Structures are given as structure tokens and as C-alpha cells.
Amino acid sequence: MFFIQLKNLYKSYGSIKALNGLNLKVPKGALYGLLGPNGAGKSTALRIICTLLDPDSGDVEVAGHNALIEEKETRRRLGYVAQEVAIDKILTGRELLLLQGDLYHLNKNYKKARIEELIERLEMNEWIDRRCGSFSGGMKRRLDLASGLLHEPELLILDEPTVGLDIESRAVIWGLLKELKNNETTILLSSHYLEEVDELSDEIAIIDKGKVIASGKPDDLKKKLGGDRVTLRVREFSDELEAESVRKLIKNINGVSNVVVNKKQGYSLNFLVQSNDVISNLSECLAKENFDVFALSHSRPSLDDVYLQATGKTLMDAELELAGKRDLKLENKKSMR
Ligand SMILES: Nc1ncnc2c1ncn2[C@@H]1O[C@H](COP(=O)(O)OP(=O)(O)OP(=O)(O)O)[C@@H](O)[C@H]1O
Ligand SMILES: [Mg+2]
């Protein structure tokens, strides 16, 4: 059974198409990860599921309810932790949780016990009675998570829950998410950390320009790539001509595919191999043609490779590109002043 189903969602902000026919099915009890570059539409999709935003068209189903009509039914089932943290500065952490408990109409005894449980679980004891204004990013994030979990929602929606956090805070949050997953809570989270999504998710979707461009179990997506990733250098700094000769040589070896020359890394060669035997064949072939092996690294495909295959760029490249465009816009604005 699917806990969330998004069908053909469209949403524009003026001329910006944030969602462009988005389809998504999140199984009940799964931890589902959304990946995608800045501006891909992740937060927009999450806010629509939380009933905070209406799509221009399309269907949203949460726990069998039409979320666009049955807003109350939907809201009471979910906890949402937004990307931007907006926490009252004057209240203490505990006061804020008590207030939040009142908003959820929680019974007094239950509310107190639940708050204690979450303070303990998220390791907030030492600072929860300080004013929120003095909290660090990691403290705010944990408090936010506690707030979203107060009413024990069936569905937890997290928009980049660990962005900018130190290793300890991240570990606390990961631990809790794993526990919740074991307790059948459905979790949908967006993240820029491939490692986080890989470690936690049962299934993922990669979103680009308002659409899902790849989805499935991380391992299946990696297997679909067709092998392990190898990086080869025949010299520390090779040149185009040499790299091209090596490319022609190895592309014909059985079990080698997707051979590309990586100019940015001293004309190294990247490719996929289907088994370890292929590597020994490869070394023999190179030796016969008098090529040395300066360096060879061999790794299981990562989500980064999946992302690269789906979008044609690494997550980092995609973000740098976007950051570049932003800087350019900023410069244009400045020069127009
Ligand atoms: N309130 C808004 N007004 C105008 N444009 C918006 C608004 N919210 C989002 N957008 C635009 O919609 C697109 C999708 O934004 P969204 O925040 O959903 O992306 P995202 O995938 O969450 O990105 P990020 O990884 O940076 O958080 C972007 O081009 C963004 O600029
Ligand atoms: Mg976002």
C-alpha cells in the first residue's frame, strides 16, 4: 500500500515552473529520500503534501485521503520539519514544546511524558531550558524535530533535516530516524547528502526541474548502472591524444562499458566493469600496447554515480552551476544599479 501518492503535479510561481508533472509513490512504513539540485522542486512538493501549498493541478493522496480536500485528516497524520527553522526566540525549548503540544490538543499528562521522552531521546537535556534565541543550528534542528514528533505522527516529512549539522547532531537524528522506521512510521525526507540518503532510505527519487528522473531502491539503481566504477590513469598527467588511444583500446574489452575521458582529472579514464576478471584482462591489454598503469581505483557504484547517470552531472556540478548562475544574476543586478 502507498502512504503518499502524487499524480501529475504542476506548480508554477509566476513564470517559474517549480513542479512539472511530478509523480511519486511512497510505500507505507518506508523511509523515502528525495534528491535533487537546488531549485529542483523538493520543498515545493513537500509543502504541497503537508497541505501548506496548493498545486496548480494534479492529485495528492495521503493515507487514502485526498489531501487537497481533506486537509484536516491529512494534517493530523503528519509531522513536518521545514527547511527554514523559524523558532520563537524568547521562549525556552521546553516552553516551546509545551506550546506546540497545546496546539496539537494533547492531553496534559501525555504531553509532559512525551516531551520528556523526546528530550531524552534527542539528547536535549543540557540546554532545553535555555531560551531558543541562544540555540545553535544543531540545537534548533533537534528541537524542530521534537516538535514535529510530539503527536506521534504516522508520517514524518523532513526538509533537509541535517543540513549544516556537526557529526554528533547528525548521528542523533539518523539514530532516531532509523528507530522511527522500525516502528512503521513513514518518513519522507529531502537531502543534499547522498551518503545520508544512501544510508537511511529504502527508496529514493531523484528530482530535476520539477520531475522525477529516476526512482527505486538505491541498490537496484546502482545495479542498473551495469557494473563497478573504475578510474584509470596511465600517467600522472596524460594528454588528450594518449587518453584517446587508451579509450579506443579498452572500450573493446569484453565487460567494459561507458568509457569516458575525464579532462578535469589529468585525462584519466572512467568506465564500468562487470567483474574483477575484466580488470586483469585490461592490465594485460594495456601492457601489450606498452601502456603503464599509473593508478587504478575500483569501487562499487555509489548514489553519486546514479545521480550522474540520471542528470548527466554530479550533484556538486549541478549545484556549482546553479550557484554560478545566481552569481551572474547578482552581478548583472549590481551593474544595472
Ligand atoms: N515562494 C516562491 N516564490 C517564487 N518562486 C519560488 C517560491 N518557492 C520556490 N520557488 C521557486 O521554485 C523552484 C523550486 O523551488 P524549491 O524550493 O521547491 O526547490 P528545492 O528543490 O527545495 O531547492 P533547494 O534544494 O534549494 O531547497 C525554484 O526555482 C524556486 O526559486
Ligand atoms: Mg528546498
| Residue nearest atom 2 of ligand 1, based on CA coordinates | 13
- Tell whether ligand 1 has an atom less than 6 A from the beta carbon of residue 13: yes
Give 84 Cα–ligand 1 centroid separation in angstroms: 12
Which architecture characterizes domain 226-300 according to CATH?
2-Layer Sandwich (3.30)
Segment holding 176, helix H or strand E: helix 167-182
Q: Give the mutation target among 43, 162, 196, 320 for probing the ligand 1 site: most ligand atoms within 8 A of CB.
A: 43
Please give the backbone phi and psi of residue 280, each rounded to the nearest 5 degrees, phi first: -70, -40
pLDDT, mean of residues 244-266 = 89
Give 132 Cα–ligand 1 centroid separation in angstroms: 27
Domain with CATH 3.40.50.300 in the chain: 2-219
- Tell whether ligand 1 has an atom less than 6 A from the beta carbon of residue 39: yes
- Tell whether ligand 1 has an atom less than 6 A from the beta carbon of residue 41: yes
Q: What pLDDT is attached to residue 320? A: 53
3-state secondary structure at position 85: coil
Which architecture characterizes domain 2-219 according to CATH?
3-Layer(aba) Sandwich (3.40)
pLDDT, tens only, 144-154: 999 999 999 99
Q: What is the DSSP letter of 28?
A: T
Bridge partners for 156 per DSSP: 79, 187
pTM for the structure as a whole: 0.81
Domain with CATH 3.30.70.100 in the chain: 226-300
pLDDT, tens only, 76-109: 999 999 887 777 789 999 999 999 999 889 999 9
Q: Give the mutation target among 9, 11, 12, 16 for probing the ligand 1 site: most ligand atoms within 8 A of CB.
A: 16
User: Do 186 and 26 contact (CB within 8 A), yes or no?
Assistant: yes
pLDDT, tens only, 187-243: 999 998 888 898 899 999 999 999 999 999 998 888 877 688 899 998 888 889 999
Nearest to 74 by CA among 60, 85, 84: 60
Cell of 264: 578535469
Q: What pLDDT is attached to residue 337? A: 47
Nearest to 117 by CA among 196, 31, 183: 183
| DSSP E strands, 160-293 | 186-190, 203-208, 211-216, 228-233, 256-262, 268-273
